[in-house]
Amino acid sequence: MSFCNNGPECLNQPFCVDLPYPPIKVQKQNSYYGCLVYEDYAGEGSELTASSMYLYHSIVTASMNEEISCLLKRIGIAELTHIAMLGKLLNALGCSPKFQTITDGNQTDWNASCLSYNASLKSILLAFIKGEEAAIGQYQDHINKINDPCINAVLERIVLDEQLHYSTLQYYYDKCISH
């Protein structure tokens, strides 16, 4: 099972489920839903954090394992796609797509302290596996709290990508680390 041919086209393709994304729309503006989407967009366990970590670690792993490096870059590109979708949802909800979260009325800007800088291939893959698992759980929690089928369709579609990322990272962990 190989997901990457290490050719130039590989590095420019997102690693996503082969299904269309739903239209970005909402039934009505809702600041509470916006606060939930902010967590997915630019919180500690957000798409912004994930994309930054994937791109950083794709650079770090290039000398360790080119195939994993390529995969991490492709997943990072997929996470950037998710950021754009969530930013558009925030706009539709009447919120500014700033890289922030809003909890109990308090704004917290995203910063690089959200990132984890792992050094070994094992710790990198384990961190991403745990991160994808946490992201899936966070999205499921938000889907349960949001009563807007338009928003939930977008979040559910993103979850499909996160599940693909999780299973693929688990495959590579098993293949490369835990023989």
Cβ neighbours around 142 below 10 Å, total: 18
Per-residue pLDDT at 13: 63
pTM of the model as a whole: 0.91
What does each of the 179 residues of the chain score in pLDDT, given as a tens digit?
344 444 444 555 678 999 999 999 999 999 999 999 999 999 999 999 999 999 999 999 999 999 999 999 999 999 999 999 999 999 999 999 999 998 888 899 998 887 888 889 999 999 999 999 999 999 999 999 999 999 999 999 999 999 999 999 999 999 888 76
pLDDT at 119: 84
Q: Count CA within 13 A, CB hemisphere, residue 112.
A: 4
Residue 11: the pLDDT is 52
Cβ atoms of 16 and 161 closer than 8 Å: yes
114 DSSP 8-state letter: G
What local confidence, expressed as pLDDT, does residue 6 receive? 47
Integer Cα distance of 64 and 58 in angstroms: 10
What is the pLDDT at residue 179? 63
